[in-house]
Amino acid sequence: MVLPERTRGYLAIISAAVLFGIWPTLSKLVLNSVSPLAIAFLIQVIPGAALLPFVRRVRIQRSDWKLVALSGVVGAVVGPLIYFYGLERTTAANSVLLSNSESLFTMLLAYAFLRERATRREYVALAGIAVGAFLVTTQLRFGDVRFLEFLVGNIMLVTAAACWGSSNTMSAVLLRRIPIVTLLEVQLLIGAAVFAGIVVFTGTSLAVPLDVLPALILLSLSAVGIFSVLFFYAFRTIGAMRTGAVLPSSALWGILVALYVFPTETLSPVQVLGGVLMVGSLIAFYILRGPAEAKSAGETLKPAASDGPDSP
């Protein structure tokens, strides 16, 4: 049985949210041994090299290159650079909480510039996801989220999220005409090229300790490469707003992954409540979903020159 395209879109963003949930933890782990600039460079190079064999032919209209370049610089250079330097200046608890702000920027920009809308019932379900993510992340223990003490780092994380939200909006437009892997590969290559120049100019060491290398590779391939492919596929099938609405569930999936890796950890009652609220809201969000914005506008997010009937 072949699942409907929109169902596959929701499954894609839920899977992407799992990977997004482990992003802050892996980043903090690698950051203990590798410089922020080196990490920002390597997480472009590694997935870029891994995806290169899947790029069949780069077919990008001349009029799109400016937007492609801008989305690449903002999303693959400025965003990661600010994020990793900001991560150095704040706590893990803050980084998990503030990572969800990318969803907020993605949704606001989709509403303002892509003219995407949701139904009233979807907005109610969206509020449930947001509240659940807040409960899971904070556990209502606000003493652990020391915003004022780490204000500079927190502002940098939010700024990075704004960069990624802006890049997401530009990518949603480009995905109407460019295959997913092609667009992602070009953006990663732009990021790698810019960072290569910065690394050479600053003389930054790219040495990675062997005990940290597996975490860096996992971060690059899963939380950057695979995540981005799934994220872009969701853009194409359910729209940027709905994709951004589901992404905050990463807080729940991140904690579940942490419980699997560290079985001695336990969930607090507040986290259980938040998790139940998020799962219930996700189900309601899917059941109550309205018509796709692209279809209602008489458009399609599939590229005009597709790599195949089911190809991204």
The DSSP-derived string for the chain is: -PPPHHHHHHHHHHHHHHHHHHHHHHHHHHHTTS-HHHHHHHHHHHHHHHHGGG-------GGGHHHHHHHHHIIIIIHHHHHHHHHTTS-HHHHHHHHTHHHHHHHHHHHHHS-----HHHHHHHHHHHHHHHHHHHTT-TTS--TTTTHHHHHHHHHHHHHHHHHHHHHHHHTTTS-HHHHHHHHHHHHHHHHHHHHHHHT------TTTHHHHHHHHIIIIIIHHHHHHHHHHHH-HHHHHHHGGGHHHHHHHHHHHHSTT----HHHHHHHHHHHHHHHHHHHT----HHHHTT---S-SS-SSTT--
Side-chain half-sphere CA neighbours of 277 within 13 A: 20
Question: How high is the pLDDT of residue 300?
Answer: 38
Question: How high is the pLDDT of residue 302?
Answer: 43
The ranges assigned to domains in the chain are 5-292
Cα–Cα distance for residue pair 113/115, rounded to 1 Å: 6
- For 263-295, the pLDDT digits (tens) are 665 667 887 787 788 778 877 877 776 655 444
Supply the pTM of this predicted model. Answer: 0.81
- For 183-194, the pLDDT digits (tens) are 999 999 999 999
Closest among 62, 118, 58, 52 to 292, alpha carbons compared = 118
Question: How high is the pLDDT of residue 236?
Answer: 93
- Locate tokens 């001695």: which residue? 264
Cβ 158 vs Cβ 101: under 8 Å: yes
Instruction: Return the amino acid letter for 66.
Output: K
Question: How high is the pLDDT of residue 155?
Answer: 85
Cα–Cα distance for residue pair 243/279, rounded to 1 Å: 15
Question: How high is the pLDDT of residue 174?
Answer: 96
Per-residue pLDDT of the chain (312 residues; tens, 9 = 90+): 788 898 999 999 999 998 988 887 788 889 989 999 999 999 999 999 999 998 877 889 999 999 999 999 999 999 999 999 998 888 766 676 677 778 888 988 998 899 888 788 888 887 887 887 777 666 677 666 555 677 888 789 889 999 999 999 999 999 999 999 999 999 999 999 999 999 999 999 999 999 999 999 999 999 899 999 999 999 999 999 889 888 888 877 766 766 666 566 566 788 778 778 877 887 787 777 665 544 433 333 344 443 433 444
Cβ 134 vs Cβ 274: under 8 Å: yes
